[in-house]
Amino acid sequence: MPIRMNRALSHAALATTVLSSVAGQAAAQSARSASAPPPTLPAAVATRPAKAAPDMQAVLDALASLGGKPIETLTPAQAREHPSAADAAKVVMKQKGMPTSPDASVKTQDRSYGDNAKQFARIYKPASATAGAPLPVVVYYHGGGWVIADVKTYDAAPRAMAAALGAIVVSVEYRHAPEFKFPAQHEDAAAAYRWTLAHAASWGGDPSRIALAGESAGGNLAVATAIYARDNHLPAPAYVVSVYPIANASKTLPSRMDAANAKPLDAAMLPWFGYYYQASEADAQDPRLNLVAADLHGLPPTTIINAQIDPLRSDGETLAAAMRAVGDRVEQRTYPGVTHEFFGMAKVVGAAQQANDLAVLRLRTAFASSPARH
């Protein structure tokens, strides 16, 4: 359960605290440059996050040992060189004597879907796949607040998904802010979905059995792309897995406060991302970002996965409620004792393995109910 806020925190401090939401903005947005200086830091918040599970804490300790600086004090160029949660998970793997090299049972190839160097996808495919029946396909979108990280950073989840499902996973790279501000990332996500539908068969995939998945900013893209497919009369994905998505522009969500000082994502980082990826303050209310205000009717069955110790926890919870309100089939699970980015740590965090198993089970069931092409 979320921790109770320190009773000594004044109402005035609370008003300052909520400025750390996704919608919280500096006076102006950044220049379209990766070297643009960061915005003014929000006021500190006197709340303590819930206690992490021991295996999750081991990763957080490893991350602290890597000596990174607070993201909100860096430029995007600096932040892109910053140690990641994935790096920390590898430190723990090494400590446990586990191999950190990629699983060789899954092979990859990179293919371009657009003209920009960032418009490409890393295609994961089981090495044991034969030329027989085509494989189901998952289009996966990575996180990083649309500013940092890439398909390499987020290798663990799509690679594990391909192996567990016996599926092709298309991990989409997209143009980053601030060089390319919103809605460039959503446009790329939609373009990559169209491209996958057109080309999956050439990789041994079955475009009639396709699903969407993503983490954080990518969790948002997975749902937004399902909406795009519906509105543009494209073949609908069979299922959506959205992991700790950005989904709600409200400044007063519970998790913005009770997880304000969580790691690796804290509340001060949220306006930092918004400062760089939004072209204007009004973008925060765009239904592609503020998904709870979107037309959500008629979307595919969806699983939303959240972490307890995460400023974005309430985003997933409120998105699930909004989807249920319009009759969508949706389940939402908040895993206790874990933080943002836990989903890619299945080898060292027990709850991450549970969440991965849930995602794989839901996707496998959805693909089984869709007849395969031969």
Residues designated catalytic: 216, 310, 340
Degrees to nearest 5, angle at CA 87 with 84 and 89:
115
Beta carbons of 240 and 300 less than 8 angstroms apart? yes
Residue 238 near residue 300, CB atoms below 8 Å: yes
How far apart are the C-alpha atoms of 331 and 301, rounded to whole Å?
A: 8
Question: Do 138 and 170 form a contact (C-beta atoms < 8 A)?
Answer: yes
- Say how far apart CA 147 and CA 227 lie, in whole Å: 23
CA distances, 311 to each of 9, 53, 168, 356 (Å): 18, 17, 32, 21
- Cβ atoms of 225 and 242 within 8 Å: the answer is no
State the Cα–Cα distance between residues 171 and 36, nearest whole angstrom.
Answer: 28
